[in-house]
Chain A
Amino acid sequence: MTATLENPATEVGTVPSFEVTLRVRRYSPESEHGEESTWDEFTVTAHGTDRVLDALHKIKWEHDGSLTFRRSCAHGVCGSDAMRINGRNRLACKTLLKDVNPDKPITVEPIKGLPVIKDLVVDMEPFFASYREIMPFLITSGNEPSKERIQSAEQRERFDDTTKCILCAACTSSCPVFWTDGQYFGPAAIVNAHRFIFDSRDDGATQRLEILNDKEGVWRCRTTFNCTEACPRGIEITKAIQEVKRAMIRRAF
């Protein structure tokens, strides 16, 4: 009746179906293992365009309903499913199985540095608390204009990169400084500070720089570039952090 796609994605992609094994880190305090985390292996059949998230869904839907992870949009814009895949922080919905060498078991773990609640789900509250602390909102003084504030295309471009952040925590939880010191604001909070510090409409840069000048602020960054590599949105995070550092020294933004 309807012109549906009987056998769709496989023809579009180039890789035919294949078997893939996932080695997943499990943690469920209610289970027989209690506070101990364990590894489970699952083998599922995947197709050319399948992502790690598809494989996790196959496991959950066909093998073990108790496997727990967050996900929503499934195409890399909501930021729910950041996890450690073969030792690198990625979004499960944006990582194609064929791109992470499916010939060997693919290791899937929760992101590091945040308390694990169950399996791949971590407590995001400490992450969002740091975000809230840097005053992630436009701060203006004077009267509200009756129409829009004027901003040139160049001024708008100045902070474009850091507006892409989806708060998935892939960057912060890839940062060795954050692993050893959970008090560190972390890359994501700094990225969101950058987004406002360099917005020509904003008058709150001094306050934000004051906050980030803290001993747990930008100076903890050791420019290891883990965050830039981890960002699923391709934000040049380390560069943004450097720009915030420079702004702090020169008081120019």
Chain B
Amino acid sequence: MQTHQYDVVIVGAGGAGMRAALEASGEVRTAVISKLYPTRSHTGAAQGGMCAALANVEEDNWEWHTFDTVKGGDYLVDQDAAEIMAKEAIDAVLDLERMGLPFNRTPEGRIDQRRFGGHTRNHGEAAVRRSCYAADRTGHMILQTLYQNCVKQDVEFFNEFYVLDLITTHDLSQGDVADGEEVHATGVVAYDLQTGEIHVFQAKAIIFATGGAGKIFKTTSNAHTLTGDGMALALRRGFPLEDMEFFQFHPTGLAGLGILLSEAARGEGGILRNSEGERFMERYAPTIKDLAPRDIVARSMANEVREGRGCGPNKDYVLLDLTHLEPAHIDAKLPDITEFARTYLGIEPYTEPVPVYPTAHYAMGGIPTNVEAEVLRDSHNVVKGLYAAGEVACVSVHGSNRLGTNSLLDINVFGKRAGRTAAAYAKTASFTELPADAADRTVAQLDEMRNRPDGDRVSDVRRELQETMDANAQVFRTGESLNQALSDIRALQARFKNVSVQDKGRLFNTDLLEALELGFLLDIAEVTVVAAINRKESRGGHYREDFPDRDDTNYMLHTMTYRRPPSAPDTADGTVEGYFDHVEEFEGYKVVLGSKSVTQTRYEPMERKY
């Protein structure tokens, strides 16, 4: 076992982690721990752009962007956070440009901007050109640019290290830490994939930037490595997860494969058509049509298929039509995604429409934080020295449905804030001694898993989890389907205790890694479904066919999901703020729901029409 000491430790080297590293590493001794090489992170798969009201090509301002974000999130957005994000978006884009990001340019040589779903002029009048982009590889260019600048600043990385535990001064998992009690995060335990060695990192401040959990679903745009590690670790250590029922399904995944085709395809003029050739979005969103927010477009597509107007031999997808666009325009603006259609489906987008269907894309929920990226341990108590940013976090700027481009913005704005706040805190704080047995739990977990007798395969349990989530917790949900998913998850959790790995070695044991990841996936799927069962309304990405309307009277609240021992009280949060009356018992623990109020500043909730 090795031990390390850093002022700031950042877990995850995607956009949020590296943006934080650029802020912190200039100020204090900083390390970035990542289970992948930084340039492999999934930020690199983002395509369409990053919105900021630069007004380079038409009139725009940050207030319109704030409104779109709030309305896009179906009013569950914390409006103070959305305002900060929209205001700081402008500097976030300019920061990246100064770091070298090769944005596409206007004829005047300024950063070009294009249309994107849900982004409008003057509170919904028409689509506005707000997305700053680099062809359809904006995420790739952001990831590369941030990594390049980390190289420039000589940021210290621990690549292919897998964080498996978070150490805090108090055990939060029992739910008995008093209101106002000062709790500190003091370190993390990591597993070096290449050698199998355990490393303990002591830190004054820790930033979680571990990304999303798309692999709880079968059809997803997410990487194999997006297994909700950071969220699940926090949950297991007694932290709540916020708004986990809200998962975004991106409308245009390549049919059957889930590979993402950017919304930029529609921003550049692409049209969705059903089997009758009809531009069906005209019926669902008469004003902005194909550029409605993702939840609306995804539901409309699924509805077309359900009503028999799907395409193909099984009538199970719709078509993304780019054939009316000039090939030269496609090559200049959408080269990568058209290449995906050619490579993976053998479709030539110049002349043939591309089969598409919604794909699990983004977790709106995550570890609750305030606007300084400080992590909350309930609806209001901040944990000292612990921060989260990016998809792992819930600020909440996305509410119940994230607008396209706002994730690249989120990682830059709140990644920067996390790095800055953590470094400032680390300058004033001192190290807290770690318990001598800090790594014991992790070592025991790894040994136990490695040495189990032959049992269920990791891949079988994972496949069944993903299948039940796709079948029962996707675009359309009901109480019945969600309860089916929950009962399946319970059975899979029991089987998980007996899964075995075939690779018993120490070196680069990805078999063991996949088993650990499966444990995280199960925990995340479980709270996602429990929170979805509790929310008996339809809002943004969460659509309940048995409760098709939004219910502001009972549900204008963030869901806080806690994992507690069976003996703990059913009220998760000492202050019981708008308490949700819902508890699910599991073997050895229960999931208790609490809530957190939504911050409303400028905008009263209105009916959401586009």
On A, residues with C-beta under 8 Å from B are 1-14, 28-31, 49, 60-62, 64-66, 68-80, 94, 96, 117-118, 121, 124, 128, 131-132, 135-138, 144-145, 147-153, 155-156, 159-160, 163-167, 196, 199, 201-202
Decide: A2 near B475, CB < 8 A? Known: A9-B257, A11-B313, A65-B502.
yes
Decide: A65 near B346, CB < 8 A? Known: A73-B44, A137-B100.
no
The distance from the CB of A39 to the nearest CB of chain B, in whole angstroms, is 19
Q: Select from chain A the residue with minimum beta-carbon distance to B110.
A: A148
Contact A75 B344 (CB under 8 A): yes
Contact for A68 among B151, B317, B508, CB less than 8 A: B508
Interface string of B491-508 (1 = CB under 8 A from A): 000000000011101111
Decide: A3 near B316, CB < 8 A? Known: A79-B40, A121-B508, A167-B39.
yes
Known: A3-B316, A65-B457, A78-B223. 16 other contacts (CB 8 A): A1-B471, A1-B476, A8-B256, A8-B316, A49-B257, A75-B340, A76-B340, A76-B343, A78-B42, A78-B45, A121-B508, A131-B151, A138-B99, A155-B109, A163-B144, A166-B44
Q: For the complex, is B216 an interface residue (Cβ under 8 Å from A)?
A: no
Q: Select from chain B the residue with minimum beta-carbon distance to A164.
A: B137
Once bound together, how far apart are the Cα atoms of A12 and B316, in whole Å?
11
Q: Select from chain B the residue with minimum beta-carbon distance to A201.
A: B100
A-B contact count (CB 8 A): 214
Decide: A148 near B111, CB < 8 A? Known: A30-B506, A61-B459.
yes
On B, residues with C-beta under 8 Å from A are 36-37, 39-42, 44-45, 93-94, 97-100, 102-111, 134-135, 137, 140-141, 144, 148-149, 151-152, 194, 219, 223-225, 255-257, 259-260, 302-303, 305-306, 310, 312-314, 316-317, 336, 340, 343-346, 355, 357, 457-459, 470-472, 474-478, 480-481, 501-503, 505-511
Chain B residues with CB below 8 A from A148, complex form = 93-94, 97-98, 103, 110-111
Chain B residues with CB below 8 A from A163, complex form = 102, 134, 137, 141, 144
A-B contact pairs, 15 of them (CB 8 A): A3-B305, A3-B310, A5-B255, A49-B257, A60-B511, A61-B458, A72-B224, A76-B340, A77-B137, A80-B40, A118-B508, A136-B151, A147-B94, A147-B110, A148-B94
Q: Select from chain B the residue with minimum beta-carbon distance to A167.
A: B39
A-side interface mostly: loop
Contact A65 B503 (CB under 8 A): yes
Contact for A65 among B100, B104, B511, CB less than 8 A: B511
Q: Select from chain B the residue with minimum beta-carbon distance to A152.
A: B109
Once bound together, how far apart are the Cα atoms of A64 and B503, in whole Å?
8
Decide: A4 near B471, CB < 8 A? Known: A156-B102, A156-B105.
yes
Contact A150 B505 (CB under 8 A): no
Once bound together, how far apart are the Cα atoms of A111 and B357, in whole Å?
35
Contact B255 A71 (CB under 8 A): no
Q: Select from chain B the residue with minimum beta-carbon distance to A138.
A: B100
The distance from the CB of A123 to the nearest CB of chain B, in whole angstroms, is 8
The distance from the CB of A222 to the nearest CB of chain B, in whole angstroms, is 28
Chain B residues with CB below 8 A from A144, complex form = 98
Contact B502 A64 (CB under 8 A): yes
Sorted nearest first, the 7 A-B pairs with minimum C-beta distance are A8-B256, A138-B100, A65-B502, A61-B459, A9-B256, A66-B503, A150-B109
Chain B residues with CB below 8 A from A13, complex form = 345-346
The distance from the CB of B600 to the nearest CB of chain A, in whole angstroms, is 32
Once bound together, how far apart are the Cα atoms of A3 and B298, in whole Å?
11
Contact for B148 among A29, A76, A136, CB less than 8 A: A136
Contact B140 A166 (CB under 8 A): yes
Contact B312 A2 (CB under 8 A): no
Once bound together, how far apart are the Cα atoms of A128 and B303, in whole Å?
48
Once bound together, how far apart are the Cα atoms of A136 and B99, in whole Å?
11
Chain A residues with CB below 8 A from B471, complex form = 1-2, 4
Once bound together, how far apart are the Cα atoms of A76 and B355, in whole Å?
19
Contact B259 A5 (CB under 8 A): no
Contact A49 B223 (CB under 8 A): no
Contact B105 A152 (CB under 8 A): yes
Contact A61 B457 (CB under 8 A): yes
Once bound together, how far apart are the Cα atoms of A148 and B98, in whole Å?
7
Decide: A3 near B107, CB < 8 A? Known: A77-B44, A163-B141.
no
Contact A6 B314 (CB under 8 A): yes
Contact A3 B94 (CB under 8 A): no
Contact B140 A77 (CB under 8 A): yes
Once bound together, how far apart are the Cα atoms of A87 and B474, in whole Å?
42
Chain B residues with CB below 8 A from A128, complex form = 37
Once bound together, how far apart are the Cα atoms of A49 and B45, in whole Å?
20
Contact A3 B302 (CB under 8 A): yes
Decide: A73 near B316, CB < 8 A? Known: A31-B505, A65-B502.
no
